[in-house]
Amino acid sequence: MTDGLERLKVLINSSTPIVVMETSEEMHAISMVRTACSQLNMATFEWSIADGLLRSGTNAPPEGDKISLQARIDQNTIWNQTGRSETPTRTALSPGAGEGNRLARSVASSMGTDGAAAASGTAIYNTREPVQALANMESMTVEAVFILKDFHRHMDDPVVVRRLRDVGQKFAANRRTVVITAPELTVPAELTTLVEYFDLPLPDCDRLHEIIHDTFTRLSKTYTLKLQLDAAGVDAMSANLRGLTEEEAERAISQALVTRYALCPETVTDVLDAKKQLLRHSGMLEFVEASDTMAAVGGLENLKHWLGQRRGAWEDAAREFGLEPPRGMIILGVQGCGKSLCARAVAGEWKLPLVKFDTSAVYDKYIGETEKRIRKVFQVAEGLAPCVLWIDELEKVFAGSGPDSASADAGVSSRLLASFLSWMQDRKAPVFVAATCNNVTVLPPELIRKGRFDELFFVDLPNQTERKQIFSIQLTRRKRNPADFDLEKVAAAAKGYSGAEIDAAVQGGLYAAYSEKKQLSTQSLLDALAQTVPLSVTRAEEIATLREWARTRAVPASAQDGGSAAR
């Protein structure tokens, strides 16, 4: 939060006339503005259509008065007290503070009788209508920040836009700023040169510690809660909350505390489940359980070796060694050969969170909204870092980003590609992008070059050795001993079959054996294979073309096993 607060203070101090904060977390946004104004010794005014324009105080305590979560844990008897009264913290703008009185008098002198109303916390007369409120703001001379709530509902009024433009032009020469908070806002062309955008930062671990403490303290006044979590447990809970906004994190903590009536080890898992639900409801990212590891993937030794070399490269020790975190990889190959399984297994192997990017949900019918959605995805992914971001079927996202895309989708695909490329190039957070692709030829060349992704792997149909491994893995999953089967024979019979087709053959053999009241045997597997026409036959030409393209352009994911004749 500190970096975001400093950025906001710079915007205010540099006389930025209009700052737009697109967020549904209005209380968080207002609290940050109040904190910034408190540290800058500036007055804060708030406007809403319900109340009009009034002067507000600040909820921000001085840094020295904040009590760390560790201190609270060390004094956990205090946490269990209920109904505890706390002395309100006095700040520079609190009633009774010298600076607050000075600013109040300044407001009053600049506005006459209306200023007295503002200083006392009541609305200034005749400011409920946005035009009148802007007129009053323009006439004020006090250095202040004016927060306009839900102002997006009035931006289609030309009079409001004109008045806001006048205010912005005047504020540009003074130490005054308008902050507009709204869930979504389309800025008119007349105001674009006056506007700066500010995105609320996601809370870091220190801020999440504070939210856990504040939420526990607040709920302890209503419920009898027990503190059964040590400092390591609180650290784990904070890690599970990363990627959520402040309000989402507080909601997840509150639900866990009220469910358990305690801050206990079970609440650490509870908040992770709540985070999965919140990400799923966002419609763009899905938290995926990464239970598989690369041991569950048959073959692909080159890919496994490459991933093994990069394990832990996001840790502090690797950074001190001079390493940068790996950026990502594209897994290209024949359908059904385990590309998606590999992407999932990377997170399980590295023991990192795995989030799946829903490529269909990012597109919006309104111009400009798609770009906002993709920025939100990047922000959440960086908040979860270190993590693995899984993009399935990459070509479906960027295939339409060529020179002619403007006529097809108003250039949305091109702008989406530009945003993605910029993020891939400039991001600092350790987010490993695991992308899968069936047809790399439709992807723009600037996407697959080195520097964006670390490597492009080609997953071919499994060779003899890999087919034996796949049969062994699938039989073990189904509670069968691979030693009871002639794996050499069934693997040879499965020549040209993908991993998914081998899985289906094992499943088909089990169905047949169960219906005939027999045990699964080598012959059952051979019969199931004989009844299947593999993709290598039905799509032989396409697979041959893909192999030829990848022969000199991609790294084989599999080690050589007798050449292509063994495929």
- Which of 137, 180, 190 shows the shortest CA–CA distance to 159? 190
Tokens of 413: 């695909």
DSSP string, 221-233: TTS--EE---HHH
Long-range contacts of 404-410 (CB under 8 A, 24+ apart): 410/367
Q: What's the 3-state SS for 56-119?
A: ECCCCCCHHHCCCHHHHHHCHHHHCCCCCCCCCCCCCCCCCCHHHHHHHHHHHHHHCHHHHHHH
pLDDT score of 1: 54
pLDDT score of 170: 92
Three-state SS at 247: helix
pLDDT score of 369: 62
pLDDT score of 342: 85
pLDDT score of 17: 94
* E strand map for 210-283: 226-227, 262-263
pLDDT score of 8: 93
The dihedral formed by the CA atoms of 482, 483, 484 and 490, expressed in degrees to the nearest 10 = 60
Tokens of 8: 């906001």
Alpha carbon distance 494, 28 (integer Å):
59
Alpha carbon distance 164, 151 (integer Å):
11
State phi, psi for 450 to the nearest 5 degrees: -65, 145
Tokens of 343: 């992407």
Q: What angle do CA 375, 380, 386 make, to 5 degrees?
A: 125
- Which of 538, 484, 526 shows the shortest CA–CA distance to 502? 526
Three-state SS at 532: coil
Residues of the chain with pLDDT under 50: 58-69, 72, 76-120, 365-367, 403-408, 563-566
